[in-house]
Structure 1
Amino acid sequence: MSAVQELLLLLPLALLALQASLCHGACVEVDSDTEAVANEGFKLGCISCKRRGEVPATASVRWFFKASDETVFSPIYNYEDLAAEITDSRFYDRLDWNGSKHTKDLQDGSIYILNVTYNDTGTYQCIFFRTLLYPNYDFPSNTSRTINITVVPQLTRGMASILSEVMMYVSIIGLQFWLVVEMIYCYRKISAAGEEALRESAAEYLAIASESKDNCAGVQVAE
């Protein structure tokens, strides 16, 4: 493989790596945040990825809540057939759908709490009721997520969060540095190959010219 071909292969990879943040990846089950700030909004994350991505499905999501001083869960929110329903008076006008849009094949069942209060501290449960639609039969399945939420006056960041953010930036910088080094290496390799090709062409030209001169001299002697 020539140096030019290697560079052409590396360029798309470099562009993809630099623009990875703009791409839409596959479904990833990310855990929800667990610390909400009073009087602000908060996203209750709940993601359940479909294991058979090629199989069509329908799903509904139900949310339940158990306050810190309660012993049983109470239904607070339902989302089914693209319609939402708040079922607990404590959350009237304070819950909004923040999950998958314009589809019944739900994989993100997150909701958003408006104007968080200290009474929202407790345990939340999110349950996916999914039905996989095979040609000859339907296969129902349930998936649940449990989230313990604490309401605080202001947001605090744990050491793990800080370290993960630092590592993310270090990884991005390291990747970009590696790409720059690869580009420089390929450029030098192409330049060296070009100079070598020029030297070979020049040597070949001189050889042809010398051979032509010898042939001409031979013809003159023969005459």
Structure 2
Amino acid sequence: MSAVQLLLVPLALWVLQASLCHGACVEVDSDTDAVVNEGFKLGCISCKMRAEVPAEATVEWSFMPKGESEFTKIYSYEDLMSDTPDERFYERLDWKGSKKTKDLQDGSIYILNVTWNDTGTYRCIFTRTLTFSSFKFHNDTTKIVHLNVVPRLTRGIASILSEVMMYVTIVGLQVWLVVEMIYCYRKISAQGEEALRESALKNGSKRQIALDSPSTLLIFTPSSIMTPSHYPIQEDKQPRGLSREQMDEK
């Protein structure tokens, strides 16, 4: 199996596992500043601790205006049906929580056309029933939202500083990346020039050695190769022996 296939196998398994997972639930606090004559979302999230246990939940919202001491029921959501008993919020509240399920974990609602009279304290009550194999368990969770209506939304110092730091970080990372690219380019170029210089010096030294000692080189040409017929015949200068007749005469 190739290296590419070895890398693709765990990736495919991870994608398959991710497709089988459900969305996670995270409890976050609701915003508290609403702009007059605009819409505003009242957040209320209550996560179920045992995701594998079937459950059903209902949500009830109550409102206590600023300066008063009692809550009044203004909205309820149960069995996929909503109800707005308070005339002050009639046709001004919209469900923004969990959809198409009785196992509610998000009970947020949306206020249309916020008025100054909407300033006050809102209470969200989750009533959840967990169904186990042998019994049922009931649990109530309460969330409180203190709403303040303002003429226009102003950003806090923390938000402004966070945005400034984000842009500074982005610009700093880009500058650092450009500097690193230039440094790497110059380093690679210097190494390439050094390799070419060393190669040129080696070739030059070899040529110089060849020019300084030509006697060490043997050059054979066709005309310089001698065949046996070209070898010179040398005369025998040593005295030959005398024959018998010559010895008798002497």
CA contact 1:34–1:147 (8 Å) conserved in 2: no
Query: Could you tell me how far apart the structure 1 residues matched to 2:79 and 2:214 are?
Result: 96
Query: Could you tell me how far apart the structure 2 residues matched to 1:179 and 1:67 are?
Result: 49
When residues 213 and 82 of structure 1 are mapped into structure 2, their CA distance, relative to the original with a 3 A threshold, is farther
When residues 104 and 179 of structure 1 are mapped into structure 2, their CA distance, relative to the original with a 3 A threshold, is farther
Q: 1:78 aligns with which of 76, 79, 85?
A: 76
Q: Which runs of 5+ in 2 are unaligned?
A: 1-23, 219-250
Q: How far apart are 1:202 and its partner, in Å? A: 0.7
Q: 1:222 aligns with which of 202, 217, 229?
A: 217
CA contact 1:33–1:45 (8 Å) conserved in 2: no
Query: Could you tell me how far apart the structure 2 residues matched to 1:202 and 1:192 are?
Result: 15
Q: How far apart are 1:95 and its partner, in Å? A: 0.4
CA contact 1:29–1:49 (8 Å) conserved in 2: no
- Identity level (%): 38
Q: How far apart are 1:28 and its partner, in Å? A: 5.7
Query: Could you tell me how far apart the structure 2 residues matched to 1:208 and 1:61 are?
Result: 86
Q: 1:177 aligns with which of 165, 171, 174?
A: 171
Query: Could you tell me how far apart the structure 2 residues matched to 1:181 and 1:145 are?
Result: 46
RMSD, aligned α-carbons = 3.9
Q: Which residue of 1 aligns with 2:28?
A: 29
Q: Which residue of 1 aligns with 2:162?
A: 168
2:156 partner SS: helix
Q: Which has the greater radius of gyration?
A: 2
Query: Could you tell me how far apart the structure 1 residues matched to 2:206 and 2:184 are?
Result: 32
Q: Please tell me the residue identity of whatever aligns with 2:142.
A: S
Q: How far apart are 1:26 and its partner, in Å? A: 7.9
CA contact 1:29–1:48 (8 Å) conserved in 2: no
Report which stretch shifted further, 184-193 or 83-92: 83-92
2:159 partner SS: helix
CA contact 1:56–1:105 (8 Å) conserved in 2: no
Query: Could you tell me how far apart the structure 1 residues matched to 2:124 and 2:149 are?
Result: 19
When residues 28 and 71 of structure 1 are mapped into structure 2, their CA distance, relative to the original with a 3 A threshold, is closer
Query: Could you tell me how far apart the structure 1 residues matched to 2:192 and 2:123 are?
Result: 71
TM-score, length basis structure 1: 0.65
Q: How far apart are 1:147 and its partner, in Å? A: 1.8
CA contact 1:75–1:88 (8 Å) conserved in 2: yes
Query: Could you tell me how far apart the structure 1 residues matched to 2:129 and 2:206 are?
Result: 83
Q: Which runs of 5+ in 1 are unaligned?
A: 1-24
1:143 partner SS: strand
Q: Residues 75-154 of structure 1 correspond to what in structure 2 (within 5 A)?
A: 75-101=73-99, 106-130=104-128, 141-151=139-149, 154=151
1:42 has 2:40 as partner: yes
TM-score, length basis structure 2: 0.59
1:189 partner SS: helix
Q: Deviations 1:11-63 (Å, cap 9, x if unpaired)?
A: xxxxxxxxxxxxxx9836133224451x43332223345667x7577554321
Query: Could you tell me how far apart the structure 1 residues matched to 2:158 and 2:79 are?
Result: 38
Q: 2:152 aligns with which of 145, 148, 155?
A: 155
When residues 185 and 56 of structure 1 are mapped into structure 2, their CA distance, relative to the original with a 3 A threshold, is farther
Q: How far apart are 1:162 and its partner, in Å? A: 3.1
1:29 partner SS: coil
Q: Deviations 1:95-132 (Å, cap 9, x if unpaired)?
A: 00123445656544321112334443332101234567
Report which stretch shifted further, 57-66 or 126-135: 126-135
CA contact 2:25–2:47 (8 Å) conserved in 1: no
